[in-house]
Structure 1
Amino acid sequence: MAHAARSAASRVFLVLLAAALVIGALVAVYLVVDAQRAIRAEAERVTSATAIALANSPVVISALDAGDPADATRILEPYAMSVVDDADLDFITVMTSEGVRITHPDLAQIGQRYLGTIPAAPEPLTEVFTGTLGPSVRTIEPVTGDDGELLGWVASGVTIESISETVIRRIPLSLGITAGLVVFGALGAWIARRITRRIAGDLPPGQVRDAVSSYESIRTLGDPLRAQTHEHGNRMHTAVALLELGRSAEAIEILTETSRQSQSLVDQVTARRHGDPAVGALLLGKASQAKERGIDWRVRIEPDTPRSPLTAVDSVSVLGNLVDNALDAAAEAEDRWVSVSLSPSAEGGIILEVADSGAGVPTDLTERIFASGFSTKPAGADGRGVGLALVRAVVDDAGGTVELSGSPTTFRVVLPRADAPGRRR
């Protein structure tokens, strides 16, 4: 048995919760990597500072200048170990100019050659090298006499294992921060779910879109029907007044003209083999609305235009929103006109084009105008920022495309055949 579709509120909750988990994981990784980088940078700074201090220490210079390795070991070994403890290092190695160790944490290594890079010139060097204590970050510094003669070298270092242990000690803090972010994210997702549920109830996203489409269809049908009623009312009142004045010929002319204008569009709509009464009613109403606003209304419907894959509600919503935008744009132009055409596509679907004489849409906004909530006009009670987003959602759901071109501004909707196997429902 098929599972019931998740509600829009549940989907919002799951998406936001997943986003919180992903963000939390990324933050945790960043904190660990940043801590490792910071600790290693600190290790390089400490080893460098310690090596420089010891290389300039009178005790070290004097012991190496004496030229007696055994006596230098007796003097410098305890001195080096005390600095190791104070600076929290893993080793300090004092060596001769040839690289023979004079001090080392492991006494057995004294007298052996230093494992690491000894610069060809007496200059400092910081590197990562694997020595007797394992991989370590180390800095080697030359020890010179008063005359600049090279007396020996001082190397201080921190093992990678020590750096890793410091990073591990910081992991609980990173995990705590991550857990806090996830908790706050989950709380935000829960709040968003409650808000979405108040608005959409337990409806799945498809039914929410259908509800919005139904509302848009009612709205876009309401305005033209009001305009049509208003226009017919004015003409009827005028005709009645003319009849009362005995000017029957003029009254008949007004009523005949009204019938002729409506009949032209009715003939185009009814000529289709697969006519849609809702679309026909919408176009008739929009014709009255255009005339009321002083806009030239042009409609062309090919008789062989096939049946629409959309429901009547979605058809009215798509066409109504495109025409509403066109009427608004044309109303601000000097040459006011709106053109609507319905024709068959080469694949057996429908091509719907709505063009207007308006100023057009800036190139950088050709995609943004389809985003929910975006509008080039002030927000209002008629739902600005919803229409074109809904148009794209409905057309995409039907497996069609919607494109915008300029000169003149034209919205072109291509819908597949009503029985196309690849249609999404």
Structure 2
Amino acid sequence: MKLLGKLKLKSRMILILGVMALVQTGFIGVFALHYLHESLGEQIGQHALNVAKTIASTPQIISAVQRHDSEFLQPLSLIFAQQTHARFVVIGDKNGARLAHPKAEKIGQLMSDDEGDKNIPVLVDGEGYISKAKGSLGWSVRGKAPIFNETKDVIGVVSVGYHLDHVELIILRYKLTLIFVILASFLLSAGIAVWFANHFKQAIFGLEPEQIAYLFDEQKATLESIREGIIAINSEGVITTINRAAIETLGLPENRELTGLPIEDVLPDSAMREVLESGAPQFDREVWRHDHSIIANRIPLRQGHTITGVVSSFRRKDELALVSRKLTRIQQYADSLRSQSHEYSNKLHTIAGLIQIGATDEALVLIGQESQSHQELINLLIESVPDPILAGCLLGKYNRAKELNLTLVIDAESHMAALPESLPREHLVSIIGNLIDNALEATLEGRGPGGQVFLSMTDLGNELIFEIEDQGAGIDDQIKDKIFEKGVSSKANIGHGFGLHLVQSLLNELGGTITVEPADNQGSRFIVYIPKQQTLTQV
């Protein structure tokens, strides 16, 4: 067994299948030879009995036996033996004394002296029979038949024998054939083993069983070590893999064996069955479980064109949201600082120039104007937009507008304080940021430096409403209905046509809508509606 364990998978399969072929064909061969030996013995014995009965019923034989005419019977028995290919034909009287024998010196002696039987079934009962015995001519299969007279009395016996050497020769020929069949079967099994081993190893990516076992243990350890929950089901919707993080995240019982159970029994409203039937993956889907939000991805497993299962990975949203908020704030702060740095650098150069030429009054006025406008914006954001992420986004876009020599005008009546906790801030700033960037770019192209972009916000009612208006050239009627499709843009430059598509996609996730209409000043006005009550997918 140790030696077998050291062999490669292909060598093991060839050896095992070869040994199995040898054992099977050997067992079948031994059984076949034994059956053949017995069958041939019976057939030859039956043939010997039929010949004996035929000779015993010959009138000349009956008459000669009644006369005890050995001179007539002796040559006749030799002729019968030659014609029937028998080893011998022996004829005896009713007492078992030989009247004809291949060896003339045996005539007159009792057949029972050297043939090992008393001929009782024939001479006493008058019945023919078959026997295997060693007589004066060696081992043979013989058939014995009684000779009857006209009154049906037994008057003698005919014994016809065939040597067992003939049977052995036939068996030997079959043995040689069997050996050839066994070798051919072994070679065929080895060939099949090589083909099957190659096919099998290709299916398991050329790995050895020990390597597969190692990878299985490694995968199991990996699944248990990651913080994301993992659930996998097969084509029948039965759970095949679930890690501890999934059990803890979903609040499932830890002392229950979940693998092997249908996914509906564990998660009745799971969307994994939907992915299994449709084959369409689902990414970043927000679901609810035990009053907390989860971000889930579901990917179908395919073998060729057949879906063999689904894998779902998920994590609590509050963990992802924390990281996302930090990254969003860092990005907003970076944009804001970059814009402010550029803007204040220009203004400092201007102030320095005014001081150098002695225009100190103008320098003081410029300093006061800058402080006053910036402070007014900050006060507006503090009062109307208490959410730091949205406020930071608007402040960054305000500074970006100034950097482009444009003005972002935020309606003083705007109010956006009722942002629900369930609303993803990264989605919100992506929507508003993309729309403001588009408005700034459109205004710069349509109106040039000095143009304005207008923003108003309201959180009254059941929806959050944002209006962004630019002073651009407007949207061509030919693309107005397709403006939110990917790659469609009113700008001729390459690389546009993705911002509005992203806005539409994010609004679809939030259950919101967006409309576009001509502005009062020939530009475009985009109006965004986001419901305060978020409708999220259920587990």
State the TM-score bracket (shorter-chain normalisation).
0.5 to 0.7
In 2: Cα distance, 1:223 partner to 1:60 partner:
105
Q: What's the counterpart of residue 30 of structure 1? A: 31
**Native 8 Å contact 1:220 1:324 kept in 2:** no
Larger-Rg structure = 2
Q: What's the counterpart of residue 199 of structure 2? A: 195
User: Per-residue CA shift, 1:268-290, capped at 9, x if unaligned?
Assistant: xxxxxxxxxxx9x922313445x
**Native 8 Å contact 1:39 1:167 kept in 2:** no
Asked if 1:92 is matched to 2:89, the reply is: yes
Give the deviation of 1:191 after TM superposition.
1.3
In 1: Cα distance, 2:209 partner to 2:84 partner:
62
Give the deviation of 1:132 after TM superposition.
0.7
Asked if 1:285 is matched to 2:246, the reply is: yes
In 1: Cα distance, 2:56 partner to 2:227 partner:
89
SS at structure 2 position matched to 1:326: coil
Structure 2 counterparts to residues 120-139 of structure 1, below 5 A: 120-139=124-143
SS at structure 1 position matched to 2:99: coil
In 1: Cα distance, 2:307 partner to 2:60 partner:
83
Q: What's the counterpart of residue 507 of structure 2? A: none
**Native 8 Å contact 1:143 1:151 kept in 2:** yes
Give the deviation of 1:218 after TM superposition.
6.7
**Native 8 Å contact 1:9 1:201 kept in 2:** no
**Native 8 Å contact 1:95 1:154 kept in 2:** yes
Structure 2 counterparts to residues 26-425 of structure 1, below 5 A: 26-65=27-66, 67=67, 69=68, 72-114=69-111, 115=115, 116-119=117-120, 120-200=124-204, 203-214=207-218, 225=229, 282-288=243-249, 297-300=252-255, 322-326=257-261, 328=263, 330-331=265-266, 381-382=308-309
**Native 8 Å contact 1:224 1:286 kept in 2:** no
Q: What amino acid maps onto 2:253 in structure 1?
A: R
Percent of pairs identical after alignment? 16
Q: What's the counterpart of residue 269 of structure 1? A: none
**Native 8 Å contact 1:142 1:152 kept in 2:** yes
| TM value normalised by structure 2 | 0.42
Q: What amino acid maps onto 2:41 in structure 1?
A: R
| Shift in alpha-carbon separation, 1:329–1:218, aligned structure 2, 3 A | farther
**Native 8 Å contact 1:8 1:196 kept in 2:** no
User: Per-residue CA shift, 1:33-55, capped at 9, x if unaligned?
Assistant: 23212211211111111111111
User: Per-residue CA shift, 1:336-383, capped at 9, x if unaligned?
Assistant: xxxxxxxxxxxxxxxxxxxxxxxxxxxxxxxxxxxxxxxxxxx96249
SS at structure 1 position matched to 2:110: coil
| Shift in alpha-carbon separation, 1:107–1:227, aligned structure 2, 3 A | closer
RMSD (CA atoms): 3.5
**Native 8 Å contact 1:7 1:203 kept in 2:** no
SS at structure 1 position matched to 2:158: strand
Q: What amino acid maps onto 2:100 in structure 1?
A: T
Aligned length: 256
Bigger RCO (CA 8 Å, 6+ sep)? 1
**Native 8 Å contact 1:8 1:200 kept in 2:** no
Give the deviation of 1:141 after TM superposition.
1.0
Structure 2 counterparts to residues 2-17 of structure 1, below 5 A: 5-17=6-18
**Native 8 Å contact 2:147 2:154 kept in 1:** yes
In 2: Cα distance, 1:77 partner to 1:34 partner:
37
SS at structure 1 position matched to 2:162: strand
SS at structure 1 position matched to 2:98: coil
| Shift in alpha-carbon separation, 1:59–1:217, aligned structure 2, 3 A | farther
In 2: Cα distance, 1:40 partner to 1:88 partner:
16
Q: What amino acid maps onto 1:159 in structure 2?
A: H
Give the deviation of 1:332 after TM superposition.
10
SS at structure 1 position matched to 2:6: coil
Give the deviation of 1:128 after TM superposition.
1.7
Give the deviation of 1:92 after TM superposition.
1.2
Structure 2: where are the runs of 5+ without partners?
A: 233-240, 269-305, 311-539
**Native 8 Å contact 1:13 1:190 kept in 2:** yes
Q: Identify the range of structure 1 (106-115 vs 22-31) with the bigger mean alpha-carbon deviation.
A: 22-31
**Native 8 Å contact 1:12 1:193 kept in 2:** yes
**Native 8 Å contact 1:81 1:92 kept in 2:** yes
Q: What amino acid maps onto 2:126 in structure 1?
A: P
**Native 8 Å contact 2:9 2:209 kept in 1:** yes
In 1: Cα distance, 2:231 partner to 2:172 partner:
73
SS at structure 1 position matched to 2:308: coil
User: Per-residue CA shift, 1:387-419, capped at 9, x if unaligned?
Assistant: xxxxxxxxxxxxxxxxxxxxxxxxxxxxxxxxx
Give the deviation of 1:107 after TM superposition.
1.9
**Native 8 Å contact 1:80 1:103 kept in 2:** yes
Q: What's the counterpart of residue 382 of structure 2? A: none
Q: What's the counterpart of residue 375 of structure 1? A: none
Normalized per residue, which structure has more strand? 2
Give the deviation of 1:227 after TM superposition.
6.8
In 2: Cα distance, 1:52 partner to 1:332 partner:
86
SS at structure 1 position matched to 2:145: strand
User: Per-residue CA shift, 1:299-352, capped at 9, x if unaligned?
Assistant: 35xxxxxxxxxxxxxxxxxx9xx522135484599xxxxxxxxxxxxxxxxxxx
In 1: Cα distance, 2:227 partner to 2:88 partner:
85
In 1: Cα distance, 2:216 partner to 2:36 partner:
50
**Native 8 Å contact 1:5 1:204 kept in 2:** no
**Native 8 Å contact 1:135 1:159 kept in 2:** yes
SS at structure 1 position matched to 2:260: helix
| Shift in alpha-carbon separation, 1:171–1:327, aligned structure 2, 3 A | closer
Give the deviation of 1:213 after TM superposition.
4.9
Give the deviation of 1:160 after TM superposition.
2.7
Q: What amino acid maps onto 1:129 in structure 2?
A: A
